[in-house]
Amino acid sequence: MSVIKQLLSEERALLIPGTALVLASLISILVMQGHPTGGEGHHGEIASESLSMHAQMLTLRALMVFGLFAYAAHRGIQRPLVLAGSVALIVSTICFVGATTIDGYVMPFLTNPDHQIPRYSQIAWAQLVTGFGFTGMFATATVYALLSLDMMTDMKTRPLAIGMSGLAIASFVIFLVVTNNGMNLPLAFKIISSIGIWGMILGLHMVFTRKA
């Protein structure tokens, strides 16, 4: 019982959200590997797989947002870089939910041959997914860059190292976004993997951080 009280104490306030961020980031990479391509199997089976996978991604995203907001609260929402990062996190979450919902729940219906949906409607919704996706990924990279810059102001070895890795990953994600005209699974996997890697790094930092 004393162990549980210690883990839930104010001193270890970042333990639970940090653990959630690590696990959600790792599992999101693994889940993304199983994204149905639509190249094989019956449409109904593919649609079912898509519904399940996107439901998992939405749940994992919620856990990641919980972890990131907990970190922002710990750092102090009044700090300019943290506040800006929190706003960017809201934008990225809205876009992620929009893109994931449309791709996972709307597109399987639109692409079902039995429904005979006009091709232009499918293209329009696909463009919306791309718009949400690119905006969300750019916003997420902005979140990482801003939180990294704020962390580096501590001028300590671990925060500096984590902050530099966050800036590197944010720069890589932005590079992928601006150099690609369309969304595809290999690109999405690269970006989500990059985002997940720094999520795990930050989450581990949170786990081992004690409140002063």
If you write DSSP's letter for every residue of 28-95 in order, what string do you get? HHHHHHT---SSSS-HHHHHHHHHHHHHHHHHHHHHHHHHHHHHHHHH-TTSHHHHHHHHHHHHHHHH
pLDDT for 118 equals 82
Give me 188's structure tokens: 């999405």
Q: Answer for the pair 176, 195: CB distance below 8 angstroms, yes or no.
A: no
Q: Answer for the pair 162, 202: CB distance below 8 angstroms, yes or no.
A: yes
54-106: per-residue pLDDT in tens? 888 999 999 999 999 999 999 999 999 999 999 999 999 999 999 888 888 88
- In whole angstroms, how far apart are CA 180 and each of 97, 175, 176, 186, 187? 21, 9, 6, 12, 8
pLDDT for 49 equals 67
Say whether pLDDT at 12 is over 60.
Answer: yes
CA triple 140-141-142, angle to 5 deg: 85
pLDDT for 39 equals 43
Q: Answer for the pair 64, 17: CB distance below 8 angstroms, yes or no.
A: no
Instruction: Decide: residue 55, CB within 10 A, 0-12 exposed, 13-18 middle, 19+ buried.
Output: middle
Place of tokens 């960017």: 88
Give the pLDDT band of residue 1 (cuts 50, 70, 90).
very low
Question: Among candidates 137, 187, 197, which has minimal Cα distance to 166?
Answer: 197
Give the pLDDT band of residue 47 (cuts 50, 70, 90).
low
Poorest-pLDDT segment among 27-31, 188-192, 204-208: 188-192
What's the rounded Cα separation, in Å, for the pair 163 and 155?
Answer: 10
